Amino acid sequence: MTGKTINPTRMELTRLKGRLKTAVRGHKLLKDKRDEMMKQFLDIVRRNRVLRRKVEEGIARSNAALTVAAAIMGPEMLEQALLYPKAGVELDVSYRNIMSVNVPVYDFHTTNDDPAELFPYGFAQTSGELDAALEQINEVFHDMLELAEVEKSMQLLAQEIEKTRRRVNALEYVMIPETERNIRYISMKLDENERGNTTRLMKVKDMVLQDAHRYRK
């Protein structure tokens, strides 16, 4: 029995049995939710691994091209060529639901769809390596955005998995065992009371019979 006071009545026993039934059902539902979230989480982790490798390779290629361009053009000319971009970018954020967790979905579009607007400079004073670097950055940007989406989804799912895991453990190792102990305690007390009442009734019966026997004599 736990340290708190338990009222050993049939009404309390009925209440605890209902509570135990609800806890067991909730425990199963939470375990199923946790297992499905883990499956979704592992799928996202695998996607994250692929995207991260792709982004890192793309960034390495663009950095290499920028390094060559800076060496050919000089840092000052490179900075001047990139000082005034022609196209802007707008980012839209929506959400999708994964096992009651709202994860972000990022979508972006440029303010100008003309591919030539990618290069904010004239071609006479710049090197081809700078063009290649900007093209590489433009290509990897889509993957970078998806990587940010995937990593945020991982973070949110991991937090929800941890919360669900704590709830499952609280039910499995605290609430359900405690409720079962209380049910056993109340059942034992009720059985003791029943046996005590039966014993008292038998003694009263014996006393009545003895008195009746002496009266007849």
pLDDT in tens, 6-32: 888 889 999 999 999 999 999 999 999
Q: What residue ranges in 31-88 does DSSP mark as E strands?
A: none
**Per residue in 146-205, pLDDT tens?**
999 999 999 999 999 999 999 999 999 999 999 999 999 999 988 887 777 777 777 777
Is the model more confident about 15 or about 128?
A: 15
123 Cβ neighbours under 8 A, 6+ residues apart: 131
* Distance in angstroms between the alpha carbons of the first and the last residue of the chain: 53
> In the chain, what are the domain boundaries?
10-209
Q: What is the spatial distance between Cα 62 and Cα 58, in angstroms, rounded to a whole number? A: 6
The confidence band for 1, taking pLDDT boundaries of 50, 70 and 90, is very low
pLDDT digits (tens, 9 = 90+) for 30-56: 999 999 999 999 999 999 999 999 999
What's the predicted TM-score (pTM) here? 0.73
What is the separation of C-alpha 216 from the centre of its chain, rounded to a whole number of angstroms?
Answer: 82
Does residue 3 have a pLDDT over 90?
no
Token pair belonging to 22: 């609800």
pLDDT in tens, 101-126: 999 998 887 766 655 555 666 665 66
For residue 98, list its beta bridge partners.
101
Q: Looking at residue 29, what is its pLDDT?
A: 95
- Which residue pairs from 48-51 have beta carbons closer than 8 angstroms and sit at least 24 positions apart in sequence? 48/147, 48/150, 48/151, 48/154, 51/143, 51/146, 51/147, 51/150
Query: Is domain 10-209 given the CATH code 3.40.640.10 in the classification?
Result: no
CB-count exposure of residue 182 (10 Å: 0-12, 13-18, 19+)? buried
Q: What is the pLDDT of residue 2?
A: 45
Please report, for residues 4, 89, 164, 170, 181, the alpha-carbon distance to residue 159 in angstroms, rounded to integers and kept in the order given. Answer: 33, 31, 9, 17, 32
* Residue 214: per-residue pLDDT: 62
